[in-house]
Amino acid sequence: ARRIIIDTDPGQDDAVAILLALASPELEVLGITAVAGNVPLPLTSRNARIVCELAGRTDIPVFAGCDAPMTRKLVTAEHVHGKTGLDGPELPEPVMPLQERHAVDFLIETLRAEPAGSVTLCPLGPLTNIATAFRRAPDIVERVQQIVLMGGAYFEVGNYTPAAEFNIYVDPEAAAEVFGAGIPLVVMPLDVTHKALVTKPRNEAIRALGTPVGKAVAEMTDFFERFDLEKYGSEGAPLHDPCVTAYLLAPEIFSGRHINVEIETTSELTLGMTVADWWGVSGRAPNATFIGDLDADAFFTLLTERLAKL
Ligand code: BDR
Ligand code: CA
């Protein structure tokens, strides 16, 4: 199985991404590292454990990481995810413990201990934990197999500011560090996640699984959808973060371009913008595979089939 570390700020869509990974024998989740993002760190590290317990996977170690961006004040997204970050379903408080080690130490020690090129990082939130680990231990950078992350936008521009997607906006310095690290990088920007829409029939298919997981996921997306319906008038909520896990399972349902992507870290107006050279006009070397499209039906079939196994 492919070995991954999920770095996350759950978040209903993060929760679904984690469940999809835990339901898939092709993936071995070495650990989950929580970061501040959608809600503050005490809640994201709580929510990550709630999700593991929902999946019956109390064996997965969950670590708390950075509680604020590298240099900026934390901004959060309760307006999207609710007060707890996981509003919607009623799920019990977690009993499984949080690991004592800091998430950054876990990242560094795991990448040093495992064979080089054997661990893939899956960031689903602001990139603070990952960039902090790279700064503190530059030797681990070349040991990372690949990074597959959710963040940024090109044609879809921004969802948190007119120019920036939330994960990148929250910690643009961290994003710049990760995009500049020279690691094989696959990016799921809003361009693709806004095509992974949980329409009513798709959500009902998940609810109809009739399992605690199916019910919880349907209730999460019901909640999450409220915000997006008001905002975009779309057919359903974009399921951002699960695109990352789905890519690891079925890369053939995604398409994109290997291009240069730079992060804006200074402009007030466009802070956190992913300047994606889609048309190759800059002459700068490509550093990321920027995904633009997916087969949404195949994505939801995969997701529903896998969730049924939990
Ligand atoms: C991203 O921001 C968060 O609100 C979601 O969990 C996702 O990771 C989308 O912009
Ligand atoms: Ca997220």
What tens digit of pLDDT does each residue of 17-73 get?
999 999 999 999 999 999 999 999 999 999 999 999 999 999 999 999 999 999 999
14 close to ligand 1 (CB < 6 Angstrom): yes
**pLDDT for position 233:** 76
Q: Tens digit of pLDDT for each residue in 76-116?
A: 999 999 999 999 999 999 999 999 999 999 999 999 999 99
HEC sequence for the chain: CEEEEEEECCCHHHHHHHHHHHCCCCEEEEEEEECCCCCCHHHHHHHHHHHHHHCCCCCCCEEECCCCCCCCCCCCCHHHHCCCCCCCCCCCCCCCCCCCCCHHHHHHHHHHHCCCCCEEEEECCCCHHHHHHHHHCHHHHHHEEEEEEECCCCCCCCCCCCCCCHHHHHCHHHHHHHHCCCCCEEEECHHHHCCCEECHHHHHHHHCCCCHHHHHHHHHHHHHHHHHHHHHCCCCEECCCHHHHHHHHCHHHEEEEEECEEECCCCCCCCCCEEECCCCCCCCCCCEEEEEEECHHHHHHHHHHHHCCC
Closest ligand to the CA of 48: 2
* Tokens describing residue 57: 């996977």
Mutate to test the pocket of ligand 1, among 20, 124, 157, 198 (most ligand atoms within 8 A of CB): 124
> Structure pTM?
0.98
In this prediction, residue 224 has a pLDDT band, given cuts at 50, 70 and 90, of confident
Reply yes or no on whether 79 is catalytic. Answer: no
For ligand 1, what atom is nearest to the CA of residue 124? Answer: 8
Does ligand 1 lie within 6 Å of residue 85's CB atom?
no
pLDDT digits (tens, 9 = 90+) for 8-21: 999 999 999 999 99
Q: CA 241 to CA 14: how far, in whole Å? A: 5
